[in-house]
Amino acid sequence: MPSSAIAGKTGLIFFPAFDWAISPTHPEREERLLYTRDQIFEEGLMDLPQIEEYKPRLAENKDIARTHFCVPDVESQVTEAHLIAAGSTLTLADALEKGEIRNGFALVRPPGHHSMRVVHGNRGFCNINNMAILVEYLRSRYGHKRLAVIDTDVHHGDGTQEIFWHDPDVLCISFHQDGHTLYPGSGFVNEIGGPQALARTLNVPLPPGTTDEGIHYVLDNLILPILEEFKPDLVLNSAGQDNHYTDPLANMRFSANGYARLNEKLAPDICVLEGGYAVETALPYVNTGIIQAMAGLDYSHVREPDYVPGAFVQSEAMWREIRKTVEQVNKLWAEREEMVQMALESLGDFYRRKKRIFYDTDMINESQEESVRLCPNCPGYMTISSSAQRGYGTLNNAFCVSIPRGACSSCREDAKEEYEEHLEDRRIGYVYLQDKERDKFKFCNNMTHTQKGY
């Protein structure tokens, strides 16, 4: 059957960065989207009236600083390729808000979902988090409050999770191959967000070998019902393609058709490409399927050459595990309000946690101490003290202060005081003040006493 007509176009930005790679033989290399280009161009998808192709723009440094603390500064952490990939998502956001498109897909590289709030280098092939930058842009530019990020990459979206950990208005759900068996080794059911935002971060670890059926079970019985309740302004998909059964870096058994059907059911407003490294056997087909599903086109003809329907079957043990995980996560979601209440009663004026972050690509070890003011009048300001080491030497020390949107005057004053106090501290290289309320971002190099802002 030919496709039925749905009003409105699907915006597409295809930016394969044919002149950018982490290294010549790295999975994140020039060739990654080459066959995808061949397939979607040969299909003539861009010529169809349902699809509008856009040219990406460069994100501004300010768009990056709204989300990240780049150490020492934005310019030294990002290349033009990163700014274009991030800028693609913003171009689609603008087109969506102007009503030019019904939904959009940023089919771009480099990816971003392993990048956290503080950036000392590249981890998990990511420098800056395209999805988080999009979320912050949608909020500051268009005033959206409630947003949902569904991470469908095979790896845990730990960067996105970390950035929105304390934010009750951004629902982050990531399903992925179990962290016992795959990078980054996190994303367990008990990772559910900060005390003010418990169960607004949800993780669904899945056993290696999970098939279309398993993933659609999670979608139908967990993700879609929760979205129905959360009622976000927009649904965003961190659309990794490495759950595919041919992906060389993971062990799942998801198909191109499964991906297309997932996007049809999830109906995301914007999709942003993350990982996916089966450059020849998966990406051309998965991307074609996702574009077609988003545009309301018939995707039933998309099929990998070696795909045999019904060939992948989940064992009863896998089914039990998946059902149990879904049940656990649903319970957490159901109890979220009580959990928040209990947590806040048991804590004082501040919530503090320490964590260690390893940058696998750049071999950096970072230790952080994070503190959030549990303010009765506003979301509370946050500080992060970060020390990054490479080998036996210290790379950089940074102190970061963030003023949230809707900050009360007392939190604002305290946050500014924290920033000023650390300007004199010679043990800290860089001090940052991120004012999301006023969309102003500044930092100081303590060694040279120079201040800069975005």
Distance (Å, whole) CA 269 – CA 286:
18
Q: What is the C-alpha to C-alpha distance for residues 213 and 309, in angstroms, rounded to an integer? A: 12
Task: Determine the straight-line distance between the first and last CA of the chain, rounded to whole angstroms.
Answer: 52
Q: Compute the half-sphere exposure of residue 379: CA atoms within 13 Å on the CB side of its CA.
A: 18
Q: What is the largest CA-CA distance in the chain?
A: 69
Nearest approach, Cβ of residue 35 and another protein (Å) = 5
Q: Which is nearer to another protein, 6 or 189 (by Cβ)?
A: 6
Cα separation, 37 vs 255, in Å, equals 19
Task: Give helix then strand counts, H and E, for the chain.
Answer: 13, 17
285 lies in the binding site for another protein (CB under 8 A): yes
CA distance 368 to 141: 30
Stretch near another protein under the rule CB under 8 A, chosen from 42-50, 184-192, 316-324, 408-416 = 42-50
Q: Rule CB under 8 A: say whether 424 interacts with another protein.
A: no
Residues in contact with another protein, total (CB under 8 A)?
49
Helix/strand/coil for 20? coil
- Cβ nearer to another protein, comparing 57 with 412: 57
Q: Does residue 39 touch another protein according to CB under 8 A?
A: yes
Residues 360 and 250: their CA atoms lie apart, in Å, by 17
Cross-strand partners of 369: 354, 385
- Of 301, 324, 331, 438, the one binding another protein (CB under 8 A) is 301
**Among 48, 224, 344, 347, which residue interacts with another protein (rule: CB under 8 A)?**
48
**Counting contacts by CB under 8 A, is residue 160 touching another protein?**
no
| Phi and psi based region of residue 4 (left: phi greater than 0; alpha: psi -120 to 50; beta: remaining) | beta
Q: Does 56 bind another protein (CB under 8 A)?
A: yes
* 302 lines the binding site for another protein (CB under 8 A): yes
Is residue 288 a contact residue for another protein (CB under 8 A)? Answer: yes
Q: Does 303 bind another protein (CB under 8 A)?
A: yes
Out of 11, 28, 35, 178, the only residue in the binding site for another protein (CB under 8 A) is 35
Q: Does 75 bind another protein (CB under 8 A)?
A: no
Strands 393-403 and 382-390 come out as: antiparallel
The smaller minimum CB distance to another protein, of residues 55 and 320, is found at 55
Q: Which stretch binds another protein (CB under 8 A): 45-53, 229-237, 312-320, 420-428?
A: 45-53
Smaller CB distance to another protein: residue 30 or 369? 30
For the chain, give the number of residues: 454
Q: Is 114 an annotated catalytic residue?
A: yes
Pick from 6, 22, 34, 267 the residue near another protein by CB under 8 A: 34
229 binds another protein (CB under 8 A): no
**One of 59, 64, 84, 384 touching another protein (CB under 8 A):** 84
Pick the catalytic residue from 113, 114, 144, 422. Answer: 114
Among 99, 305, 310, 391, binds another protein (CB under 8 A): 305
Q: Which is closer to another protein, CB of 122 or CB of 386? A: 122
Q: Which is nearer to another protein, 301 or 324 (CB)?
A: 301
Q: Which of 394, 439, 343 is nearest to 71 (CA)?
A: 394
Can you tell me which of 80, 337, 417, 421 binds another protein, judged by CB under 8 A?
80
Q: Which residues contact 366 (CB under 8 A, 6 or more apart)?
A: 118, 120, 356, 357, 358, 359, 386, 387, 388, 389
Instruction: Map residues 373-412 to x or -, x wherever contact with another protein holds by CB under 8 A.
Output: ----------------------------------------
- CA 94 to CA 96: how far, in whole Å? 5
* Shortest separation between residue 2's beta carbon and another protein, angstroms: 4
Which residues within the stretch 14-33 sit at the binding site for another protein (CB under 8 A)?
A: 14-20, 24-25, 29-31
> For residue 75, what are its two tokens?
């310019």
3-state secondary structure 226-265: HHHHHCCCEEEEEECCCCECCCCCCCCEECHHHHHHHHHH
CA distance 54 to 308: 35
Tell me which residues touch another protein (CB under 8 A).
Answer: 1-3, 13-20, 24-25, 29-31, 34-35, 37-39, 41-45, 47-48, 53-56, 58, 80-81, 84, 280, 284-285, 288, 292, 297-298, 300-305
What residues act catalytically? 114
